[in-house]
Amino acid sequence: MSFSPSKRPLCSGGSMSARRAARFSKRPFVLNITSMIDMFTILLIFLLVNFSSDDTVKAPDLDLPNSEEAGGVKRSSVPVAVTQNAIVVDGATVARIDDVYEQGTAEIPELVAALAQQRDRAIHIAKLAARAASSATVGTEEIAWQGRVTLSGDQNIPFELLRRVIYSCGQASFAEVSLAMDKATEAGR
């Protein structure tokens, strides 16, 4: 078995990797991360838009009424819970029930402010998603706002309080209100 002789001189002044390193070290290293940032931005917006969780808020002191209808909670609805002690929006307490009774007005300002913040956040996320999808700026008028609220009310709260909560949801541009209930069992009827 014979090997063909190498055309390189044996004493060239260094190994091949040393020559390669010397050649590449003369150029400054530049990392272009623009496309990687674009990719992560699109991925983040995709995950924010498609994040789904159980929208019903079941507080410890919340006893939901039973229902015969078995319907699921619609996606992209804001969960609002009315317990015996507080009004909770998306897991955060926004008003105490005692304070709501003392106000005496039909509108609950704390609830309207919290829902307006949720609305603005949802519109902002929808704008970002539309901008990422079309790479163009989108105005507020082009965003299809769907004001949905899933209302979880304790079965022992007065109807007047429930009416005020629904009215406040409407004042914050949440026109579609769904009531969350536990499914009735055969023994519970």
How many domains are there within the chain? Answer: 1
Q: Cα 180 vs. chain centroid, distance in angstroms?
A: 20
In a domain, 32, yes or no: no
Higher pLDDT, 21 or 147: 147
In a domain, 38, yes or no: no
188 has a pLDDT exceeding 60: no
What tens digit of pLDDT does each residue of 168-183 get? Answer: 999 998 888 888 766 6
Between CA 44 and CA 125 the distance in angstroms is 11
Higher pLDDT, 87 or 77: 87
Higher pLDDT, 11 or 149: 149
Between CA 121 and CA 148 the distance in angstroms is 14
Q: Return the minimum-mean-pLDDT range out of 54-63, 158-167, 172-181.
A: 54-63
- Largest Cα–Cα distance of the chain, in whole Å? 103
In a domain, 6, yes or no: no
Domain of residue 102: give its range.
55-183
Residue 140: its pLDDT value, please?
46
In a domain, 113, yes or no: yes
Nearest to 76 by CA among 2, 7, 161, 174: 174
Q: What is the mean pLDDT of the chain?
A: 75
Between CA 169 and CA 179 the distance in angstroms is 13
In a domain, 140, yes or no: yes
**Which range scores top for mean pLDDT: 26-30, 53-57, 64-68, 99-103?**
99-103
In a domain, 67, yes or no: yes
Q: Is residue 112 a contact partner of residue 142, using CB atoms and an 8 Å limit?
A: no
Residue 15: its pLDDT value, please?
67
In a domain, 24, yes or no: no
What tens digit of pLDDT does each residue of 6-33 get? Answer: 555 555 555 666 666 666 666 666 777 8
The mean pLDDT of 55-74, rounded to a whole number, is 57
Those residues whose C-beta lies under 8 Å from the C-beta of residue 5, and which sit 6 or more positions away, are none
